[in-house]
Amino acid sequence: MSILQFLSQRSVQNAEFVANKLEEQKIDVNVIKCMYTDDAFLCSILPQYGDRLALINFAKQTNVSKRKSALFDKLMSKVKKNNDDICESFIDSPNQSFVPKKNHQTIHTSLPNRFVEIGWLNFEFSNYKQVRTRNGGGTRKVHVNKNCVKSDLIDLAIQLFFPNGTSSNFGPIEQFKTDLFDFQRNVLPGDLSVAELYLKTGLNSLRFYLATDLKDRISNDSKSNSKIFSSPEKTVTNYVVASSTKSLFDVSPSNSPTSLWLSNNDNFENIFDGYNNLDESLKNEERITDVYVEQQIHNNLIDHNYYTVPEPLEEKTKLILHRGRIFNELIEAFKLIKMYPQFQFELILPNGSVENAIDVGGVFKDVLAEFWSSFYEMATTGCNWKIPIIRHDFQDEQWQAIGKIIFIGWRDIQYLPLSLALPFMEYVICGTVVNNQDLVDGFLNTLPFKSKDILQNALKDFKQIDEDELLDILQEFDCRLVVNEKNIKDVVSEIAHKEIIQRPKYIIDIWSEELRNKVIPIISKISLQEMYINKVPTSTNLLKNLQCPDKDESEIKRKVFGFLKKFIREADQMLCTKFLRFVTGSDIITDCININFTSAKDNYSRSPVAHTCTNTLDLPMSYDRFIDLRSEINSILASNVWVMDIA
């Protein structure tokens, strides 16, 4: 499709004029893909922002298609050349039997053994699901005699997946009914040997699946009169992408619903089986970035990370936000929202490209963390704890929008902005006046360390402090009294009440009204205080929330897990917050942190990898020294640039 056809298809006014202008300036698709939406020339000929973005996206897709075609043509030319060589060889010696050249693939009819791949499918709920390596499954490549038949392969698979007759995760083999499926997940005939299957299918490598199903489930299933092991029926379901999606900041070229037909029993491994079998050069040259289906991604995350992933919801409102502008854009979005639907977030990177991450929880946590981090900088005062301040450009609707964001964060992932002073949040949520001691303690936590230390000493022993320093601090808060040993406690208490309750009372009233009958009936004063103790990212809280069921499997895992705990124990609260943000996407503790061990080929390719949707940290086992792990994690956290990708 040409640029003119594309613009005409989008119903762009003066499409022919725009195409001619681009041609005059020698701007083709290769140039357009390097341009930005705010390019002065593009703005002059395409005033609509959506048209500019769509044109740039069209250029990028066109370039990808050309590269795919070039790679395919290159591959086909190699195949054609090989076929021509074979034909020439046959023509030169017509009376001789054909003997392929050494550099061509030979038929291994004379070899006694062949390689096959064996996986494991276990029946769960209504279909067969592949058992992953972590749970004792995976795909095993083994050498078998070419005369092996179905019963021999079943015995071999049982030895692989049920060593000594037992699986550590599924129990003894005696409680399962077993069968063998072929690569298409159909029941394998019992009389065919491996050699016959190779000749019949013409494949370079055969894959079989050990199929297991609990005998108790089968005996209790009174409704099923069919054979126990029939091939998995592939019923087809229509997955509609974004059919119920309402986009508030949608800058994509097309908002029309997209349909994708997939099998219920297919997972990501099946969908991309063809890709996995491609030539390695094609994989390295071209990255497949086609259609993402939320339900399939959810299943893929569960299969690969083995931890709980939030179930995808059918009805969602999609919000497309820009990195670096989340604070303003989220407030503008929530100003328009009257109801409280479920949200799905998509992020645009500063270079204009869409972040690859799919929101099943991790993106939402990252959005909240970035929003509140900006809020603390732009709309609060205080050090350790923050107090919101009045801004002339923030009126009722802005503060109401922020109140809605507080509710959505609590409703979906029990997130609250715990950097706001505890007495302030108690007053907002619980609606009660906090006692004087809590108020003073909260006020002291908003002060710089030096000022806090002076006031604490003044409250303990007024005679031992420097009065000039004390007066300087009190003058910052417009103290109108001469303080002495008798009235210092009352003066500090009054200042604390003024700063935490009186000054932001306008904000308190708006937020309390917004959260009334939503969060307020759920959170008590005691539970709120417990949240401030247990959910703040300190070394103690992080260590309490680490989960690593594999740590005792080997000495190496125990050692590396010990390195990680030592790193957390040595970290201050700022570093703990960065670490938590990297692993979970959130700046407060919303769930346990799962540690998964991985293997790295060498020290240069190892790197801790975080999966924010499941709060999982993949930790390489190749760390021999604590200082190596500390150095690499510190380097990652110091960069402050973590672009999300698909897990």
pLDDT for res 127:
77
| Predicted confidence (pLDDT) at residue 256 exceeds the cutoff of 70 | no
pLDDT for res 540:
93
Cβ atoms < 10 Å from Cβ of 280: 7
Three-state SS across 317-382?
EEEEEECCCHHHHHHHHHHHCCCCCCEEEEEECCCCCECCCCCCCHHHHHHHHHHHHHHHHHHEEC
Find the radius of gyration of the CA atoms of the chain.
32
- Of 244-253, 433-442, 521-530, 576-585, where does mean pLDDT reach its minimum? 244-253
Per-residue model confidence as pLDDT tens digits over 334-386: 988 877 778 888 888 888 888 877 777 788 899 999 999 999 999 999 999 99
Three-state SS across 437-459?
HHHHHHHHCCCCHHHHHHHHHHH
- Of 48-57, 141-150, 314-323, where does mean pLDDT reach its minimum? 314-323
- Of 99-103, 151-155, 539-543, 618-622, where does mean pLDDT reach its minimum? 99-103
> Against a cut of 0.85, is the pTM above it?
no
Torsion sign, CA atoms 470, 471, 475, 477: positive
pLDDT over 90 for what percent of the chain? 26
pLDDT for res 109:
52
Confidence grade of residue 513 (pLDDT, cut at 50, 70, 90): confident
Written as one letter, the residue type at 394 is F
State how far the Cα of 210 lies from the Cα of 179, in Å rounded to an integer.
6
State how far the Cα of 434 lies from the Cα of 556, in Å rounded to an integer.
51
State how far the Cα of 314 lies from the Cα of 295, in Å rounded to an integer.
10
3-state DSSP assignment of residue 254: coil
pLDDT for res 414:
87
Per-residue model confidence as pLDDT tens digits over 209-243: 999 988 866 555 444 443 333 333 333 333 222 32
State how far the Cα of 489 lies from the Cα of 510, in Å rounded to an integer.
31
3-state DSSP assignment of residue 596: strand
Nearest to 502 by CA among 438, 403, 424: 424
Per-residue model confidence as pLDDT tens digits over 156-186: 999 999 998 888 878 888 888 899 998 888 8
Confidence grade of residue 244 (pLDDT, cut at 50, 70, 90): very low
| Predicted confidence (pLDDT) at residue 409 exceeds the cutoff of 60 | yes
- Which tokens is 508 given? 């308190």
584 vs 83 pLDDT, higher one:
584
Per-residue model confidence as pLDDT tens digits over 38-52: 788 888 888 888 888
Backbone angles phi, psi at 145, to 5 degrees: -70, 140
pLDDT for res 286:
35
pLDDT for res 602:
61
State how far the Cα of 361 lies from the Cα of 180, in Å rounded to an integer.
37
Confidence grade of residue 22 (pLDDT, cut at 50, 70, 90): confident
311 vs 514 pLDDT, higher one:
514
Query: Do β-strands 166-167 and 171-172 pair in parallel, antiparallel, or remain unpaired?
Result: antiparallel
- Of 45-54, 248-257, 620-629, where does mean pLDDT reach its minimum? 248-257
| Predicted confidence (pLDDT) at residue 613 exceeds the cutoff of 90 | no
State how far the Cα of 470 lies from the Cα of 460, in Å rounded to an integer.
13
- Which tokens is 74 given? 């290159």
State how far the Cα of 39 lies from the Cα of 33, in Å rounded to an integer.
12
- Which tokens is 13 given? 């006014």
Confidence grade of residue 643 (pLDDT, cut at 50, 70, 90): low
Candidate ranges 384-393, 422-431, 455-464; pick with highest mean pLDDT? 384-393
3-state DSSP assignment of residue 595: strand
Buried b (16+ CB within 10 A) or exposed e, 289-310: eeeebbebbbbbbbbbbbbebb
The mean pLDDT of 23-29, rounded to a whole number, is 85
- Which tokens is 41 given? 């020339």
- Of 230-234, 387-391, 461-465, 625-629, where does mean pLDDT reach its minimum? 230-234
Beta bridge partners of 380: 388
Beta bridge partners of 354: 348
Element (H, E) at 178: strand 176-181
- Which tokens is 523 given? 């959170």
Write the DSSP symbol of residue 163.
G
Per-residue model confidence as pLDDT tens digits over 415-431: 999 999 999 998 888 87
pLDDT for res 259:
29
pLDDT for res 248:
36
DSSP 112-129: SEEEEEEEEEEEETTEEE
| Predicted confidence (pLDDT) at residue 280 exceeds the cutoff of 70 | no
Element (H, E) at 514: helix 505-515
pLDDT for res 578:
92
- Which tokens is 156 given? 């071999």
State how far the Cα of 415 lies from the Cα of 581, in Å rounded to an integer.
13
| Predicted confidence (pLDDT) at residue 284 exceeds the cutoff of 90 | no
| Predicted confidence (pLDDT) at residue 569 exceeds the cutoff of 90 | yes
Cβ atoms < 10 Å from Cβ of 231: 16
State how far the Cα of 613 lies from the Cα of 610, in Å rounded to an integer.
9
- Of 56-70, 135-149, 394-408, 457-471, where does mean pLDDT reach its minimum? 56-70
Residues 52, 59 contacting (CB under 8 angstroms): no
| Predicted confidence (pLDDT) at residue 504 exceeds the cutoff of 50 | yes
Confidence grade of residue 119 (pLDDT, cut at 50, 70, 90): very high
Candidate ranges 201-215, 222-236, 258-272, 427-441; pick with highest mean pLDDT? 201-215
Residues 231, 195 contacting (CB under 8 angstroms): no
- Which tokens is 438 given? 């809590």
Element (H, E) at 256: none
Residues 310, 360 contacting (CB under 8 angstroms): yes
pLDDT for res 444:
93
pLDDT for res 372:
94
520 vs 154 pLDDT, higher one:
154
The mean pLDDT of 278-303, rounded to a whole number, is 39
| Predicted confidence (pLDDT) at residue 263 exceeds the cutoff of 50 | no
pLDDT for res 641:
62
pLDDT over 70 for what percent of the chain? 74
Residue-averaged pLDDT of the chain = 77
In order of 48, 310, 360, 589, 607, the CA distances from 413 in angstroms are 37, 10, 12, 10, 28
3-state DSSP assignment of residue 103: coil
Per the listing, tokens 């409102």 go with 317
Written as one letter, the residue type at 87 is C
